[in-house]
Structures are given as structure tokens and as C-alpha cells.
Structure 1
């Protein structure tokens, strides 16, 4: 058996790169504008949770990162407002402390971000896309577009956490027939290429491409649904220490967890709050807002386990017919609306079994989009990892404190989601748009 990386079509020509960068920068800014213009007053300048920044901090931080990397590092320009660099340094000020800082007002933040963007587009127009690793293939522009989309997802989490009436709207995903395919698929064992060395805008923790061996295993065809998770709840899953790690059981007891975040029982019905609207929990959707401990406990209860990060990536990228590793489950083409639920096009996951055009060659669905999927793996570097362009993006987070999530959610921009993209968080986090699917080894759990 052989395995090759995705076909290398060569670096696109400068005008194609310029257009691609422009498209993603504009898409991200349109979304930022929506997220910061649909509320005002304390909802914009205050803090809805110590886990989150005020929305106005995110807005100015987005502008400041763009200034530092596109205007100063790539464009060689003088700083516009060097005195605010420390205010918007994510590592200097924890989120809980940011409301106490002398932040720019909403009007100042908007003017600043717009000024930076106007100048950045000038840098883009003159860019040669060669000479340094930062400019090669437009990496810096891709990095900034991804950074803004990641903060857009963070701001969408803030909107979900805020109390009060609905501020955002979006159409629901198209209804689909109830999925009646197999509940699991067999992922064959053998080697494959994990990570990437030739994806131009891939971030440092996705690199380099390297060989991995995987034993055969079974994987859920779709993410675990609300209906399936309800069975775990109704079977006393939150009251039985057999299903929990010692740390997970302690966390559940200490926090009094009884169900996913934003759920509540009303008589005989389970309800959830979603972006200011209370609704019945839809049984056919992937479960959302569960922490790693909950995902792991459900898997144990079901006689299964969470997949490793390596297993997840093989299921998402392996093409057995071509014996090669692809960029996405459906192939090498960029995501389209037919492939996955991405980019805040909807404000909820699509029903399990949606997007047959995004199915992997092995028959697995919704590996990209809808919900971030917890894996069993700690966040660690790949062999040969090199931090770039700064250690604080990935390197400082490596270690057993963080678990890896894969696949992206409905809140992830297409530029910040691919088969190699790695997300990570503490195993207690539930405000993120996280779900999971389960696996079992070929001979058992």
C-alpha cells in the first residue's frame, strides 16, 4: 500500500493569490461588522462571562493584529498606534481582566480597524508573495484572515452566552430525510500521511507532514445526536461514576452538571437556549456544548471510546481508492455550501446525516463543520515541529492540559477549517461549539 500527499498543483499565480486573500479578508470583516453592530451599549462594551472578552476588545484586537503583521511586518510601515499594543496583547491580559483596561470606545475601535484595513489592502495590492516565509504564497494574509475568523467564532460564543433578546438571525439548514445509513464505518488500518507540508496557509501546529500507522477501527458515521445523548442522561449517566474519569467525576460533582450547557428540563421536555431563543432540544441534531469529560463518559457508557486525533484525521482524509491523503473528506476542493455547514451561514448544526456531498470515501459524514469534535488526544507537537511566526500561537499550549478538537463547527470560517486544522481547549470547556463522535477498535471498544 502506498500513500501520497495531495497533488501539488504549484503555487497559484500572484493575481490568484491576491484575489483569494482579498476574498477571505473581506468575508471575515463583513462577519466581524455583523457581530459588533447588532448589539450596543453594555452588550458591546461589557463582559458576559469571565471566559470571554468584551466584544469591543475583540474588534480592536483584530485591527491591532492586522496592523502588526500586515502593515508593520509585511508592509514595513510605521506603527499607527503603538501605545495600544499592550492593551490588545492576548497573553499580557487574561480575558477576565480585559474589562478593566482603558479600551478604545466602539467608535474608536471601528475607526482604527477600518484605517488598518484600508492600508492593509494597499499592502496586499503591492505584495509580491515571495522573499520570506511570511510573504510566500500570501501566508501572512491567510494567517490574518484565519485569525479574524477565529475571533469571529469567539464573538459568536459571546453572543450565545449573553442574556437578553435575540440579536442575530440566520436561516436554518435545509431539512433532510432521517439518516438511515449504517451507524458506523470501518476505517482500514495501515499508514497514511498526517499533517501537511505544502498547504500554503496551514498554521505551524499542522506541520510538517509525517507518516503515521493506524490500526483498523470503527467510527460513527455521524456525530452523536441530542437524541442519543438524551438516552445517556435518562439512564443516569451523570449519576454513575463508572463512566467518568476521576477528574471528570470530580468536575461533574463540583459543578453540578446534569446536561449539556444551555439545556434545562421543563416538566417532561428538554429545552435549550440558542442565541436568545428558547426551543425544544432537536433530537436529530448533533449534541452541542459538551465538555471533553462528558463526551468521554458518553463513549464509555456506550461501550465505545473517543477517537484519537490520528484516527480522526485518517477517517477525514484517507482515500483508499487512490491510496492517498486528501485535503478534505470530499477531496482537494475548497469547501462549498454543499459540502459542510460552515461560516455562520446557519446558527445551529444541521441534522445528523446531512451533506452527502461532503461524505468521505469511507462513508463518514459531517467530519467538517457543524460541531467541533473532541478527540482522546492531548495537544502535542508533530515530529519536526517549528514554531512560526511566533511561539504563542501553538507552542506555549502543548501539553496534557489541553485536548484536541477537530473538524470545525457551523461557526468556523472556511479559511480556518481543513482536514489538517487542529483546535484545542481545556477538557472542562462547554461554551465552545463542541460535540463528538465515538469509535471502537476493530475487535472491541
Structure 2
């Protein structure tokens, strides 16, 4: 059993590192050290930060080994330096960063071979190794977002996502009742997903699919960005200050709306989920459409609750890990798939594409679940709890399956839209 777990961990570490290499080897050294947006770190910072976190947790803590490069810890502490300031730091250069992460990985694999994977919460079920896999995959998605912001010829490629396999649209009714939210059993679940707890949710309707480009274009074409009625006070202020007129990376020519994806500009795909919208834009669209955004509990109930058994599944389709038939995950494609592309991934209630394609904004602040305990450090979740951050659920085409499940929680400022964010809408049933 322990050998199987070690092999799984080694496979996940190697698979994840291959993705990091794709994202950093795709550009030259000048591109690696350049800051492509003040919202993002230079790619070379992300790479060395991945190695530094692996050293801190796997080499030093789990393994009890001597530090590899203790002198650089402060450079790669995300809480000590804002992203906009990181290019001015004496960072490791591309060759140094690659050598450093390789050296750390060799030591981490040696620790994996020797350490007992039990007897301490940090290493039970190889949790620390799973945390590091997820951390690297999260930074890989961040680096993918940096690639989307860089200017220049396309350097990444992937096959297009599958076409729609089923006609989906409209809404479904999720009946009132309690369900189990969060998890106490998922071995690699992070602290903010825990513990499992019962939540009562009133009946609500939710979109069968995420809001599409065509649907969102109708809002923009109807003057949605110019009409204060649809926006919250905070959202309208930000729309004016930031000069928002359309989703990030959209432009317009006489033929209609265009979108730029990783250096390639083409007409928007009408039936693909809209991406690169902020919480404020999502909420304005929902108000314009006579609807609202779902709460986090509503979203998770729609995604996990099985009315036949009364239990919450790991994923909408069941308990098995995601496969290519279930969801658009793992950077297999470089854009969301049209709605209806993954009928095998639908929930028991018939809600599609809850996992993958686009992170979905929900109308809930990021907060602790009842009984929350910070683990293994407060800075992963606890310091972000509060009204400043809104929750996103479900993952995107850039999210790896290792860092995505029905309970996984993401969060960001409501103004952010460089992330692969979209949404779906909901509504409260009319009184009988």
C-alpha cells in the first residue's frame, strides 16, 4: 500500500514538473525574466518559488534535511514582496532557477523513498507531497495566465477543445434541503475545504451551462457597460475607473467581437463560456438578465448532491477521478469548450460543465467553514478570509485535475479578470 502511494506521488510530481517545463521552456530567457503585467510575477520567479516551497516542506520539514538555498527564502516568500515589485529583486536567473528546482526535486524524491507516510498529520497519506503537487499546479495555471497576458507571437499550442456533444440550455430546479458541503475524507483536500458539514439550501434554479460568449455579447451590445442600473455601487465605480467596456482580451471590428487567446486573435466562439470577466461584470450581467449569481453553497449543491442517494459526490459525475470525457482540465486545450461538450461530466440534476472550462464566480465572501482549522500554515487560507475576496468554484481549462475537485475553493479580488474566470446564473423560484 505504501509503495503504491509512493509511486502515485512520484508520478504526480513528475507529471507536474513536465507542465512547468512546457510553460517555461516555451520562451527565451528574456521573456522569462520580463514582467508581462504588474498583476503577475516574472515567469522565472514562479519557477524558483515552486522549488523553494518544495524545499521548505518536503526537504526541510518532512525530510529534516539541511537547507539547499536558505539565503533565497525571503526572495520567494509571496507575502514579503508584491508581484509588481518582484522584478527588482536579485532573483535567480533562468539557468540558476532550473538548476535549483532540479536539485530540490532530487532531494525530495530521496525523502519520498525513505520517509514513513504515516504517524504525523503532515505526512499521513502523503499529504505534504500532495500539497506540493497542488501548489506547483496552481502556479502552472498562474504562469499560463501570464502567457495570456504576454505580447508577441504565440508560443503555446494545443488541439482545439471538443465540439458540443449535446444541446444544453435553460435552467434546472435544485430542491430545498440539506446536503453535505466540504469534505473530511479527501486525503489531499486543503484546509479551507474542511470539515464536511451539513448545509440547508432553499430551492433555487441554476443555469444548466455557464454563460456563453454570445449571451455576454448581448449584454455588452445592449449597453450593459454604460447603464449604472445593472451594477453595484462598488462595481460601477470600478467599471468607470478601469474603463471596462468588454471582457479582458475582447476587441471589436466591423465583423463583430474578437478575442485574443495566447497570441491568436479570432472571432469569439458564440457557444463557448465567456472567460476573463470580473465578479463585478458577472454580477452586472446577472442583474441585467433578471437573475443573480449562485451562492457558494448553491453551486456546490448543484455540483455534488445526488438526490437518489442523498449523498454528496466527489465530482458531478461521481467519485472517480476526472477523465478527458468528463471535463476540460489540465491545459489539454487552450480555451473553454462549447457548452454541451462534456455530457459525461453532468451532475445528477443535469447541470453541465461545473468542473473545468472556466472558474465560476459565486456571490459569497471567502470564509471559514464551521470547525475550520488552519493547516499546515495560516497563510494558505486563513489570512484571506473576509469580505475583500469572492469565491470561485469548479476550475478552468488551465486547472490540473490534481488541484480541482467538487469541494475545491478558489478566491480572488472581485476586480480580477486576468484569471480564467466565468460564471453561471441562478434565481430564486417565484412564490407558488
Q: TM-score, normalised by structure 1?
A: 0.96
Pairing 1:409–2:396 present: yes
Query: Which residue does the alignment assign to 1:3?
Result: none
Query: Which residue of 213, 221, 231 maps to 2:208?
Result: 221
Gaps (5+ residues) in structure 1? Answer: 1-12
Distance 1:79 1:183 in 2: 56
Secondary structure, counterpart of 2:260 in structure 1: strand
Query: Which residue of 122, 140, 148 maps to 1:160?
Result: 148
Query: Which residue does the alignment assign to 1:289?
Result: 276
Query: Which residue does the alignment assign to 1:276?
Result: 263
**1:333-387 deviation per Cα after TM superposition (whole angstroms, max 9, x unaligned):** 1111111000000000000111111110000000000000000000010011111
Query: Which residue of 373, 383, 397 maps to 2:370?
Result: 383
Distance 1:26 1:279 in 2: 35
Secondary structure, counterpart of 2:258 in structure 1: strand
Query: Which residue of 325, 328, 342 maps to 2:312?
Result: 325
Secondary structure, counterpart of 1:374 in structure 2: strand
**1:129-184 deviation per Cα after TM superposition (whole angstroms, max 9, x unaligned):** 1011000000000000000000000000000000000010000112225x533411
CA shift for structure 1 position 443? 1.8
Within-5 A mapping of 1:332-351: 332-351=319-338
Distance 2:368 2:59 in 1: 30
Secondary structure, counterpart of 2:338 in structure 1: coil
**1:384-421 deviation per Cα after TM superposition (whole angstroms, max 9, x unaligned):** 11111011000000000000000000000110000000
Pairing 1:264–2:240 present: no
Query: Which residue does the alignment assign to 1:32?
Result: 20
Query: Which residue does the alignment assign to 2:105?
Result: 117
Distance 2:169 2:411 in 1: 30
Distance 1:112 1:90 in 2: 18
Distance 2:212 2:394 in 1: 16
Distance 2:350 2:113 in 1: 42
**1:295-331 deviation per Cα after TM superposition (whole angstroms, max 9, x unaligned):** 0000001110000000000011001111101100011
Pairing 1:43–2:65 present: no
Query: Which residue of 184, 188, 192 maps to 1:197?
Result: 184
Secondary structure, counterpart of 2:4 in structure 1: helix
Secondary structure, counterpart of 1:86 in structure 2: helix
Pairing 1:358–2:345 present: yes
Within-5 A mapping of 1:3-14: 13-14=1-2
Distance 1:180 1:134 in 2: 45
Query: Which residue does the alignment assign to 2:160?
Result: 172
**1:79-126 deviation per Cα after TM superposition (whole angstroms, max 9, x unaligned):** 011000011100011101100000011000000000111111111122
Secondary structure, counterpart of 1:192 in structure 2: strand
Pairing 1:81–2:69 present: yes
Distance 2:142 2:201 in 1: 33
Partners of 2:164 and 2:339 within 8 A in 1: no
Distance 2:329 2:420 in 1: 12
Query: Which residue does the alignment assign to 1:315?
Result: 302
Query: Which residue does the alignment assign to 2:421?
Result: 434
Secondary structure, counterpart of 1:131 in structure 2: coil
Secondary structure, counterpart of 2:76 in structure 1: coil
Secondary structure, counterpart of 1:298 in structure 2: helix
Secondary structure, counterpart of 2:408 in structure 1: coil
Query: Which residue does the alignment assign to 1:238?
Result: 225
Distance 1:79 1:407 in 2: 36
Secondary structure, counterpart of 1:382 in structure 2: coil
Query: Which residue does the alignment assign to 1:10?
Result: none
Query: Which residue does the alignment assign to 2:238?
Result: 251
Query: Which residue does the alignment assign to 2:122?
Result: 134
Q: TM-score, normalised by structure 2?
A: 0.98
Aligned residues: 431
CA shift for structure 1 position 189? 1.1
